[in-house]
Structure 1
Amino acid sequence: MVAGETSGDLLAGLLLDGLTSRWPLMTSAGIGGPQMARRGFQAWWPSEKLAVRGYVEVLRHYREIVGIRKQLKARLLAQRPDVFIGVDAPDFNLDLEAGLKAEGIRTVHFVCPSIWAWRADRVEKIRRSVDHVLCIFPFEPALLAAHGIAATYVGHPLASVIPLQPDRSAARLALGLRDEDTVVAILPGSRESEIEYLANRFFQAAALVKRAQPAIKFVVPAVPLLQGQIERLAGEAGVRADVQIVQSQSHAVLAACDVTLIASGTATLEAALFKRPMVIAYNMNWLSWQIMRRKQLQPWVGLPNILCEQFVVPELLQEAATPEALASALLQWLDAKSSAPDKIAVVEQRFTRLHAELQRDTSQLATDAIQKILEG
């Protein structure tokens, strides 16, 4: 298996639960993180090695990443696993899967690359690289089938892990917060490049929100390896004393908050499953942004908006993601808490419907599909 970042590690860990339940003597190895390690996965390289987003950013790490893929391919061809499962990370995994499939190793890709959002040209590479795709969104299998790619909708694992009605009070108690507190969760991302481009903006926005509402509480879940960098940036923005930084615990933080300022990515879907209003933001290297924008197929970038096919929550991207604009969007949600609760109720109801749509027995469906591949 290969999972290339925090969100992939989480999804892979949940998938491993189902795999080991069906095949108790199974062994698993490759590239992964702490969630996978807890399930007995042997990480030959840590998932952080692949946690890079953006064309220019990837170029900086290109030689190392290509070297890892070459070594991993050689090791897998020597050991010949029964099946290889690439978890997301399509830029890394699809090329690896193509090489393994060509040598007769069965390949599964978990999480369909977002060809419906951007880079539709990737379809041919998927067909060449994988025997089967495990899809987490219901519309994806039909889209892939139209291109001759076998796929199964397995639901989103997080939809079964995150409760339909999150316990805000319990989460606040665990974080040392009171029920009457107004809480903003700040999630600037789980990659070093995201922290570099987003955290300072997010913390400057927090300073502006704090000035408008002095009693506000801010909580930031930090990936352990990036916690020091986050603490430093909070200090530079002058809000270190006002921000509670906790190691990991992103689900507890999302359950506890009233609204979240959040980097575009899988975390936005987690926030939607916790039924939380949010402000989605992203900023990256200018050249990477120009390349990605030209490949975009839909008007939305945030997963909750894509899945709902409307701007349920605001998106502030690239030059629009100024501290002033981010603070203003947050304050609109916070003001709605008292002045327009119906606005928040509409978001909660839409996200509840989305949760129900994504809730399936993912472990069972995924392992059923993998069993058929193994038998084939």
Structure 2
Amino acid sequence: MKWNFPLKKNTGTTKPRKTKKREWFDALLFALIASTVIRGLIFSAYAIPSGSMEGTLLTGDYLFVSKISYGPRMPFTPVQNPFLESTITKYHIKTYWDGIKLPYFRLPGLTTIKKGDIVVFNKPEEADPAYDKPVDVRTNLIKRCQATPGDVLTIVNSQVYINGKAAPNAEKAQTSYRVITSGDMINPDIFRDMNIEVCQQVDLNTYEMIIPKEQLTTFKGFSYIKSVIPVVEPVGSYDANVFPHNERFKWNADNFGPLTLPKIGMSVPLNQENLILYRRAIELYEHNKVELEGKDILINGKKAKSYTFKMNYYWMMGDNRHNSLDSRFWGYVPEDHVIGKALITWMSVDSTKTFPNKIRWNRLLKPID
């Protein structure tokens, strides 16, 4: 038996080769798509611009932040330049187009946010209409999660309590101290070598300083140091800068609460007190219209006796307690603002030094905890 297979006809033509311009275009297009997918769904690199997390994280640290840990958040504003910040501040140029706005959606993650996690999120304060910014182009912040949805948070003399129990403090947490000296001049090199920040000099002998915990004993031992006392705002001292910015709650950064963190499905009765505590979440984060008519509270034009939350909320604070603008000042962080979990410091640069001392070699590829 003969088997006859059709042979491919040779047309005598060859596929035309791509031009150099086309090859470069294809390569750049692939790089753009790959970087957008990686940055959007897997991880991103972030820099620490301020000292709010010192000494856990240092100004000049560069971090890898995992987005798959808590689940990748799909973009609210899909048309963005993935290589630039949302706004080029110097020229006030937006690098995104908000003509398309998508609803909040997050893919499943490997875990949920735990107390003690170091989390990157968008700044909730910029939900105020004056900023006019979509969620995913708001300023990125990094803080430690202190309370999760449903927790009751209280701060007593700078110590955080969750559901009545003292929360563990970060190993290298910092705070400020009132330092009284003998009046002798202090060598400025001591501040640099011991990473001490002088916040203010009250008078000739009195200073307010942020002193790393590991340097405290040594600093107290200097002959010209008379006393070192933690700075703590007293109970009942009202600070208008502190959430919820209302004299009915005489709270400050060191003595705060109790406050229950909203949880998805949690209902709260709507009264004057709860409205002060939760109006921001109900109105700005969950996009309802809140009105007062006499003693009645209206949600979207209808009289309401209670409100049920649609999202989870978290409480984030910096480890450098007296040098951190955090949840104590602008309230809870909604789940749709969460970007990811800080995993590793891949580079760290000290801008006050010169190369090679500029690189903090001991912090390269250091896990974050």
Fold in common (TM above 0.5): no
Bigger proportion of residues as helix: 1
Range class of TM-score, shorter chain? under 0.3
Relative to the length of structure 2, the TM-score reads 0.22
> Structure 1 or 2: larger strand share?
2
Q: Which has the larger radius of gyration?
A: 2
TM-score (norm 1): 0.22
Of the two structures, which has the highest relative contact order with CA contacts closer than 8 Å and spacing of 6 or more?
2
